[in-house]
């Protein structure tokens, strides 16, 4: 048997984890045909069948599962060794691939990039906007090094194996209503049972929480706009066309035309970063997490001063 290609082994390990070629292609940022080609080459190198056709899908053979387990172990050992070598040099350099969702991208990452550009000029940060669930798959697949995550009230996301989680902080969630118009005087969510709403899709964590909050208040939200772009939510509120539930980090409470209403119990979402456990002590990851924590603390000071 030839020496097996580590990258192709990583594709096999992802296929075992995710189950379909389409999911692997999405997580690894390849086309499905490229994934199929890599697996065919790996099968030739291994000298034994690695997949069996089952309907329209595939199932891994026993040798493939052994190789997938070995691929994960080898990847962790190599990445941990690379992190240790990087720490011994005392330099923060190379490329760090980061996936984030919209509010953190808008509110925090510009300050993070400026700080890292000044303090760690040899480090290049590449950003991509992804929703948390998709981004986590990308981290495990090696497409991203760090991902920003969020948990909404009642929605605990279990920590997956081989992952390291670092807390960032909490972000209060508030009701956003127009400053003028028929919904401007609302003081509770119950006041808005007939209002048009801007909400995130119910299959997302923010959407699940928003729909549940409205139903607990005794009504089904009358949806004007459903989408994950919170700047659109805020724009519709400013225009007097809708009401919404928005996190403080978006800064909607400081936008002209929007009045921010505190909800009972001051619900919060929890923010955190994830990376592969084998990479958690890499100088680039440590530098990014430190700069992000500083930017978040500064943003919290601004938010607090604007609501007191």
pLDDT at 28 (0 to 100): 87
In a domain, 1, yes or no: no
In a domain, 147, yes or no: yes
**Of 55, 84, 113, at which residue does a domain stop?**
84
**Of 67, 84, 101, at which residue does a domain stop?**
84
Task: Using alpha carbons, list the distances in angstroms from residue 42 to 6, 27, 126, 143.
Answer: 10, 19, 30, 20
pLDDT at 256 (0 to 100): 93
In a domain, 283, yes or no: yes
For 94, residues 6+ apart whose C-beta sits below 8 A from its C-beta are 86, 122, 123, 124, 284
In terms of domains, do 106 and 245 share one? yes
pLDDT at 164 (0 to 100): 96
pLDDT at 308 (0 to 100): 47
Domains of the chain: total:
2
For 114, residues 6+ apart whose C-beta sits below 8 A from its C-beta are none
pLDDT at 305 (0 to 100): 62
pLDDT at 146 (0 to 100): 97
- Which CATH number do you get for residue 73? 1.10.10.10
**Of 50, 84, 118, at which residue does a domain stop?**
84
User: Of 20, 9, 29, whose CA–CA distance to 72 is shortest?
Assistant: 9
In terms of domains, do 133 and 281 share one? yes
- Which residues form the domain of 65? 6-84
User: Of 151, 194, 164, whose CA–CA distance to 282 is shortest?
Assistant: 164
In terms of domains, do 101 and 37 share one? no
In terms of domains, do 79 and 160 share one? no
In terms of domains, do 210 and 259 share one? yes
Q: Please report, in tens digits, the pLDDT of each residue of the chain (308 residues total).
A: 557 888 888 888 888 888 888 888 988 888 888 998 999 889 888 888 898 888 777 889 999 899 989 988 888 899 999 999 999 998 899 999 999 998 999 999 999 999 999 999 999 999 999 887 788 888 988 889 999 999 999 877 777 888 999 999 999 999 999 999 999 999 999 999 999 999 999 999 999 999 999 999 999 999 999 999 999 999 999 999 999 999 999 998 889 999 999 999 999 999 999 999 999 999 999 999 999 999 999 988 776 665 54
- Which CATH number do you get for residue 211? 3.40.190.290
In terms of domains, do 143 and 180 share one? yes
Q: Give the number of C-alpha atoms closer than 13 A to the C-alpha of residue 138, restricted to the C-beta side.
A: 23
pLDDT at 306 (0 to 100): 58
Specify the DSSP class assigned to residue 94. Answer: E
Q: Could you give the CA distance from residue 140 to residue 34 in angstroms, rounded to a whole number?
A: 19
In terms of domains, do 277 and 135 share one? yes
Say if residues 68 and 16 touch (Cβ distance below 8 Å).
yes
């Amino acid at each position: 048997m030839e020496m097996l290609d580590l990258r192709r082994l990583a594709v096999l390990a992802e296929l075992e984890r995710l189950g379909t070629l389409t999911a692997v292609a999405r997580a690894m940022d390849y086309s499905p045909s490229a994934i199929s080609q890599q697996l065919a080459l790996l099968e030739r190198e291994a000298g034994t069948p690695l997949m069996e056709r089952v309907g329209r899908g595939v199932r891994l053979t026993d040798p493939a599962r052994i190789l997938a387990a070995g691929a994960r172990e080898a990847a962790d050992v190599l990445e941990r060794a690379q992190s240790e070598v990087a720490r011994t040099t005392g330099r923060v350099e190379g490329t760090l691939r980061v996936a984030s969702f919209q509010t953190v991208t808008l509110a925090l990452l510009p300050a993070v990039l400026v700080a890292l550009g000044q303090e760690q000029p040899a480090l290049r940060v590449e950003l991509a906007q992804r929703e948390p669930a998709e981004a986590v798959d990308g981290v495990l697949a090696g497409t991203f090094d760090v991902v920003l995550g969020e948990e909404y009230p009642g929605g605990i996301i279990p920590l997956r194996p081989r992952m390291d989680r670092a807390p960032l902080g909490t972000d209060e969630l508030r009701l956003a209503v127009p400053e003028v118009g028929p919904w401007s005087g609302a003081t509770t969510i119950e006041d808005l049972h007939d209002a048009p709403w801007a909400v995130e899709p119910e299959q997302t964590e923010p959407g699940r929480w928003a729909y549940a909050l409205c139903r607990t208040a005794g009504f089904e939200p009358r949806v004007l706009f459903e989408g994950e772009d919170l700047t659109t939510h805020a724009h519709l509120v400013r225009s007097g066309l809708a009401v919404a539930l928005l996190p403080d980090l978006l800064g909607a409470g400081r936008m002209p035309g929007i009045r921010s209403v505190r909800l009972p119990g001051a619900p919060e979402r929890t923010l955190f970063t994830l990376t592969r456990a084998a990479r958690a002590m890499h100088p680039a990851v440590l530098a990014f997490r430190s700069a992000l924590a500083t930017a978040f603390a500064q943003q919290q000071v601004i938010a607090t001063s604007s609501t007191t």
